């Protein structure tokens, strides 16, 4: 497998074409942003940590019946994935009120929600990723009702699997964001990454934050939190 030209550079990853038409080469970066790119920084070792953490989650999900784009790890910061066309929708699933939901609906952060909440956001930097519903997606022409039903149902399944898996590792899954793509044969496939950049993880006992909120809110100990998550998932650095 050969690495070919760069197709895309995002805030946290670069994507390259490969010699295989259906396979992309992803490189995870140490760059970190928040608030739609307004806050910028670097988290030392994040590229490696998120590459490893995401690989562990995608492998585990595949074993439990959730197909996804992950193929295999290439190096500390690189992995191979199946080529998809990303659907411009962020699917957020929440178990506990935090972040924008706590603010929008007036829940105190940490309030358990009586059922999981699923939200869709339109991935559009200029608009600041607005919250959208089924009819918004329809008029934007980005997904039809059947697609959104699939995204919601996979999101809820991933939530159940991740919640249980993390609870066994003394971590509360507060909320997380998923992205999906369309394969060349027209199927919807779970894609992007699952990492402390895209999830809220709290220690079960102390409720200490083990995710990107440490960066967003200037709490310190950012690298240590990501390292602790990798450790709890049984992963290792520099192997
Ligand atoms: P929020 O409370 O800020 O809406 O975030 C909900 C979840 O989605 C949280 O786990 C962080 C994740 N997220 C992303 O992965 N990317 C984003 O751009 C935002 C705003 C949130
Ligand atoms: N990834 C988003 C951004 O840069 C926001 C976030 O994760 O808070 O802006």
- Give the whole-angstrom CA distance, residue 228 versus residue 235: 10
Give the mean model confidence (pLDDT) for residues 114-122.
98
36 lines ligand 2 (CB under 6 A): yes
Give the mean model confidence (pLDDT) for residues 109-116.
98
Mean pLDDT (the chain) is 97
175 lines ligand 1 (CB under 6 A): yes
pLDDT for the residue 236: 75
Give the mean model confidence (pLDDT) for residues 172-192.
98
**Residue ranges in 124-204 assigned as alpha helix (H):** 134-140, 145-167
Which residues does 206 contact at the CB level (< 8 Å), separation at least 6? none
Pocket test for ligand 1, best of 176, 198, 211, 212 (most atoms within 8 A of CB): 198
Nearest CA to ligand 1 atom 4: 100
- Give the whole-angstrom CA distance, residue 225 versus residue 220: 9
163 lines ligand 1 (CB under 6 A): no
pLDDT for the residue 239: 44
Condensed to tens digits (0 to 9), the pLDDT of residues 41-54 reads 999 999 999 999 99
Give the mean model confidence (pLDDT) for residues 66-91.
98
Give the mean model confidence (pLDDT) for residues 120-133.
97
pLDDT for the residue 186: 95
Distance 120 CA to ligand 1 centre (A): 11
Nearest CA to ligand 1 atom 15: 198
pLDDT of residue 237 exceeding 90: no
Give the mean model confidence (pLDDT) for residues 204-227.
98
The rounded percent of the chain whose pLDDT value lies above 90 is: 97
Give the mean model confidence (pLDDT) for residues 147-154.
98
pLDDT of residue 238 exceeding 60: no
Other CB atoms within 10 A of residue 219 CB: 12
Nearest CA to ligand 1 atom 14: 198
């Amino acid at each position: 497998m050969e690495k070919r030209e760069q197709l895309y550079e995002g805030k946290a990853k670069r994507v390259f074409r490969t010699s295989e038409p259906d396979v992309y080469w992803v490189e995870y970066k140490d760059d970190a942003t928040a608030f739609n790119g307004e806050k910028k920084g670097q988290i030392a070792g994040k590229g490696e940590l998120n590459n490893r953490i995401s690989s562990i989650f995608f492998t585990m999900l595949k074993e439990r019946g959730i197909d996804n784009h992950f193929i295999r790890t290439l190096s500390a910061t690189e992995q191979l994935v199946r080529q998809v066309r990303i659907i411009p929708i962020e699917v957020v699933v929440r178990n506990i009120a935090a972040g924008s939901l706590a603010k929008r609906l007036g829940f105190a952060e940490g309030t358990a929600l009586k059922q999981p909440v699923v939200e869709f956001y339109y991935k559009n930097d200029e608009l600041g990723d607005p919250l959208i519903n089924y009819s918004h997606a329809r008029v934007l022409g980005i997904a039809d009702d059947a697609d959104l039903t699939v995204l919601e149902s996979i999101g809820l399944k991933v939530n159940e699997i991740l919640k249980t898996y993390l609870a066994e590792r003394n971590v509360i899954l507060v909320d997380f964001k998923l992205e999906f793509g369309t394969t060349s044969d027209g199927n919807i496939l779970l894609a992007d990454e699952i990492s402390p950049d895209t999830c809220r993880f709290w220690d079960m006992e102390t409720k200490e934050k083990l995710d990107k909120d440490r960066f967003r809110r200037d709490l310190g100990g950012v690298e240590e939190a990501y390292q602790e998550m990798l450790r709890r998932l049984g992963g290792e650095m520099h192997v």
